[in-house]
Amino acid sequence: MESYSGFAGVYDLFMDDAPYEDWGRFVKDSLKGHKIESGLVLDLGCGTGTLTEYLAKEGYDMIGVDNSYDMLDIAMEKKEKSGLDILYLCQDMREFELYGTVAAIISICDSINYITEPEELLTVFRLVNNYLDPEGLFLFDFNTDYKYREIIGDRIIAENREEGSFIWENDYDEESRINEYDLTVFKPAEGGRLFEKIEEVHYQRGYTLEEMQDIIEKAGMVFEKAMDADTHGEVNEKSERIYVFAREKGKSGQI
């Protein structure tokens, strides 16, 4: 699982059109709908902490976990500006550790897709179950196999701005169901007169809802429901991103 390094410095710049407010409201409403009005919430794969900050402002005691020091550096800068009491931990989600259990764990913006082996995803979900309060909520999203195969695969996405630019080249392998994307980032170098070129390679795997349900159950949790993340309606064969709700149901699963 690759961590963001060079791209971290321009991540928020190029994600400024991402609907974080909508995502935040959805997560908040989902938590309250499950009678989680306050308490500890873990943001797994929190990135630069935008959603973590949103939920902290809504009164939740937030913990953010990410495996990129560079992304967390930016999250810490936001925390210093906002003055919010957020605990950030630099950990791989396949091995994350908490001091105790939490009321809910969320993972939004396709962080789960970075786990490219189903066996490793099972390990993540078992850890999630282990660190949830009794009947605690696990809410996550994931990009579907359909999205990588039909929408993203073999596309080149590029954006150029005065503050920086990137080229994102996708290559989807249908047999392994892994999407490789090569990122070329240009960001201002120190002094601002020149641009620095940084290259990264990332891998994500496309999953089906049926696979997710199976892994959730093997991890010891209860699958509650799923919905199309774009329409909030029923999942269909052309759903590109899916929200999944699962519940803790005991600690019998082996980590």
Tens of pLDDT, residue by residue over 174-204, are: 999 999 989 888 877 777 678 888 888 999 9
Judge whether residue 2 has pLDDT over 50. no
Please tell me the predicted confidence (pLDDT) of residue 55: 98
128 or 109, higher pLDDT: 128
Tell me which fold the domain 8-144+207-248 belongs to.
Rossmann fold (3.40.50)
Tell me which fold the domain 147-205 belongs to.
N-terminal domain of TfIIb (2.20.25)
Mean pLDDT of 8-14: 64
Judge whether residue 151 has pLDDT over 90. yes
Tens of pLDDT, residue by residue over 153-182, are: 889 988 888 777 889 899 999 999 999 989
Locate 241 and state its tokens: 């991103």
**CB crowding 189-205: b at 16 or more within 10 Å, else e:** eeeeeeeeebebebebb
Residue spans of the domains in the chain: they are 8-144+207-248, 147-205
Q: 30 CB contacts (<8 Å, ≥6 apart)?
A: 137, 139, 245
Strands across the sheet containing 61-66: 87-90, 61-66, 40-44, 102-107, 132-143, 241-248, 221-228
pLDDT band (50, 70, 90) for residue 72: very high
How far apart CA 140 and CA 205 sit, in angstroms, is 15
Judge whether residue 1 has pLDDT over 80. no
How far apart CA 223 and CA 211 sit, in angstroms, is 12
Residue 39: CB atoms within 10 A of its CB come to 14
Please tell me the pTM assigned to this model.
0.92
* Range from 16-20, 70-74, 148-152, 228-232 carrying the lowest mean pLDDT: 16-20
In the chain, the amino acid numbered 23 is: W
